[in-house]
Amino acid sequence: MELKTQYFVQYSNDSIINRFVIPKETFTSISIGIRNVGTDFIFPLVQNMFSFPIFFVLENDIFEQGKSIISERNIPSYKFSSNGFIIKIESVDTLEAFCDISVDLALNGISVFIFFGQGLYEEDLVPLTQWNKPIEFKNLDFQKVETFIDVSEVGTTIFSRNNKFNSPRKVSYFISASYSLDIENSDL
């Protein structure tokens, strides 16, 4: 019998929350920790949580694979720096492709953010990143954001105002059944 990869779900600690300039009182912050985050983890999570459109903010070069997908599929995107892109995703196959690219970037230590909400535009999602300051989205009206996810090599942090995702127990229902919950290390 193959062992499932375990993950834990906890309320985020202050260091994670303070990594961003956001209105903290309106968002619940949940951390999902996993060893070796993969597309088979991120894709079902995002697909189960959101409807389209979904916006991916890729702070750094998305490699040639990403650029060719954008070009071949005529995907709406916004280039915001010499190598950063914001992609508006409106189909399952494009979502899967960018979840795959996001995992590659995260495993290389590059920031990836996923946004869902009403009335969001690519230009509003440009991050201001300075090494010694919290990440800020200066043009973003956070009243339009329902949920955003920070993807890293050790899991994700979900910032949400949606009651479906406002506790570790609730978030665990959106994670693929091919993973198992580490109950001992989770806030349930």
Tens digit of each residue's pLDDT, the chain (188 residues): 557 888 999 999 888 888 899 887 789 999 999 877 888 899 999 999 999 999 999 877 656 667 777 888 788 888 887 678 899 999 999 999 889 888 888 888 888 999 999 999 999 999 988 888 899 999 999 999 999 999 988 889 999 999 998 899 999 999 998 899 999 999 97
Helical ranges in 7-162 per DSSP H: 14-17, 39-49, 63-73, 92-107
Non-local (6+) Cβ contacts of 5 within 8 A are: 34, 35, 36, 41, 178, 179, 180
3-state secondary structure of 75: coil
pLDDT of residue 95: 93
Q: Is the pTM of this model over 0.75?
A: yes
pLDDT of residue 30: 94
Question: What length is written for the chain?
Answer: 188
- Cα 186 from Cα 188, distance rounded (Å): 6
Measure Cα distances from 6 to 16, 120, 172, 179, 185 in Å: 21, 34, 12, 6, 10
